[in-house]
Amino acid sequence: MNDRLVRLMDDVKARNPAQPEFHQAVEEVVDSLELVLDRRPEYRSQRILERIIEPERVILFRVPWVDDQGDVRINRGFRVEMNSAIGPYKGGLRFHPSVTLGILKFLAFEQVFKNALTTLPMGGGKGGSDFDPKGKSDGEVMRFCQSFMTELYRHIGPNTDVPAGDIGVGGREIGYLFGQYKRLANEFTGVLTGKGLNWGGSLIRPEATGCGTVYFAAEMLATRGDTLDGKTCLVSGSGNVAQFTAEKLLDLGGRVVTLSDSSGYIYDEAGVDREKLAFVMELKNHRRGRIEEYAQEYPDAAYTPVEDGADHNPLWNHAADCAFPSATQNEINEQDARNLVANGVQVVAEGANMPTVAGGVEVFLDAGILYGPGKAANAGGVAVSGLEMAQNSMRFSWSREEVDRRLHGIMKDIHATCVAVSDEFGTPGNYVNGANIGGFIKVADAMMDQGIV
Ligand code: NDP
Ligand code: 2IT
């Protein structure tokens, strides 16, 4: 990195203390952009980089609610409106006890480039709360969502900012949030995506992130004349993204041998088939149980609990052809990355956002494997959110086949952009540079056109 960019990173760290995930996300993009800034000096003089790392607006609010015991509880709510150069702010809401402003700033920052890559007109944002839905009753989740939306509703709108789901926010939460928005705004409008099918949702939105990640992996393999058929795949997580990654892998002939949650992981040598996957979906989406129950239901599978302080995650130490991290940020450390490469992994496609630490990304790039970073590989979710917005605006809905055809086309286009841009900038096969530069140029040019704002 040149001196100017080193100074910029020092400044980012000094001005955003205690936000290590935000620093990590910015540093990865800045690293790629060195190649662009030499060719486009106007980006420098117009301070595009300095502007793009500063959120346009951050909203932070109190979320009081009453639990089933009648006790008053207080959480913190956030919305980071990062960039609206190419469209209304768009990005998910995360409800998890680990949520902080720094986590949401990293996610909002990544979202700006991801959304630009989809080719759809969406800016970037992210929000959420440190509320933990785990172990809460439906009534508690509803009261929390209603309180959260009572403040958020004044900041969002179908042409302003359109939230969706992320960790801890699925169909149930989007329903409660939408109900409260509609009551407060007195308006039935496409203000959230991931809605239920009979009240404005899009077909394929639940499947879209995992399905898109698998389409992206298939495109990467195709560059080497290969397919997913017969490939052994490690999947982490067991939520929305993991479930539909597993489903699409089954469609394309892959063998999924792992799934996890924050307590531990299962290894199933025989593979997670459709019946077992249906069990996981029932377990996670309805009974809201733990993945450990999989090994009780299917005793041939082994369950390994998380070991605090371990230097690596054993899930990533099984021999496999492909890895689909689909749980959370920094779930693959440098040792995990080395283990994956040593055990023969050829493809890493990130369903989660920034699941690999910076040193792990270096390991993948140095090994020359097919490494698809989250902002490209998992863009299918927000892409179908964009299609949901389009359908809401038309007051019309497309068939399952039509949405899937568009999703597949978008994932192929994102892949093609990554390949073309990484080639153009002299780093062929480097999807990190392809995604960062490809997303950046579109947003930067829009910012140039719109003046100093
Ligand atoms: P879900 O809440 O449906 O599932 C999350 C899964 O990851 C659960 O199995 C959860 O286990 C596990 N997990 C969450 N946090 C941790 C943690 N700190 N340590 C270990 N495991 C953890 O979320 P999604 O499937 O929607 O999201 C998964 C990832 O995909 C996230 O990185 C998200 O940002 C990203 N993503 C999601 C999109 C979407 O459309 N939903 C789109 C693009 C990216 P447990 O239940 O024990 O917490
Ligand atoms: O990280 C992501 O892209 C999401 N959680 C989905 C965002 C969206 O608006 O659909």
- Indicate if 73 and 142 belong to the same structural domain: yes
Judge whether 297 lies within some domain. yes
115-174 pLDDT, tens digit per residue, is 999 999 999 999 999 999 999 999 999 999 999 999 999 999 999 999 999 999 999 999
Exposed e or buried b per residue across 229-247, where buried means at least 16 C-beta atoms within 10 angstroms of its C-beta: eebbbbbbbbbbbbbbbbb
Q: Is residue 114 part of a domain?
A: yes
Residues 137 and 278 grouped into a single domain: no
pLDDT at residue 406, rounded to an integer? 98
* pLDDT value of position 382: 99
Pocket test for ligand 1, best of 118, 214, 328 (most atoms within 8 A of CB): 328
81 and 111 fall within a common domain: yes
What distance in Å separates the CA atoms of residue 236 and residue 201, rounded to the nearest whole number?
27
Q: How far is CA 307 from the centre of its chain?
A: 25
Q: 181 and 220 share a domain?
A: no
Q: What is the pLDDT of residue 35?
A: 85
Q: Residue 298: which CATH number?
A: 3.40.50.720
144 and 92 inside one domain: yes
Say whether both 176 and 81 belong to one domain.
yes
Residue 134: which CATH number? 3.40.50.10860
Do 107 and 229 have their domain in common? no
- Asked about 105 being catalytic, the answer comes back as no
How remote is the C-alpha of 36 from its chain's centroid?
25
Summarised one tens digit per residue, pLDDT across range 353-364 is 999 999 999 999
Asked if residue 349 and residue 218 are part of one domain, the reply reads yes
424 part of a folded domain: no
Cβ atoms within 10 A of the Cβ of 434, count? 29
The pTM for the full model equals 0.98
| Contact (CB, 8 A) for 86 and 132 | no
Ligand 1: which of 240, 313, 329 to mutate, most ligand atoms within 8 Å of CB?
A: 240
Indicate the residue among 377, 401, 416 that finishes a domain: 377
**279 plus 165 within the same structural domain:** no
* CA dihedral (405, 407, 409, 411) positive or negative: negative
| Count of structural domains within the chain | 2
- Hey, whose CA ends up nearest to atom 3 of ligand 2? 382
Mean pLDDT split into 10-residue runs, the chain, 453 residues? 93 98 98 92 96 98 98 98 98 98 98 98 99 98 99 98 98 98 98 98 98 99 98 98 99 98 98 98 97 98 96 98 99 98 98 98 98 99 98 98 98 98 98 98 98 96
Domain residues for the domain of 258 are 208-377
Is 8 inside a domain boundary?
A: no
Q: Are 291 and 150 members of one domain?
A: no
Q: Which ligand is nearest to the CA of 212?
A: 1
Last residue of one domain, picked from the residues 377, 406, 434: 377
Instruction: State whether 155 and 278 are in the same domain.
Output: no
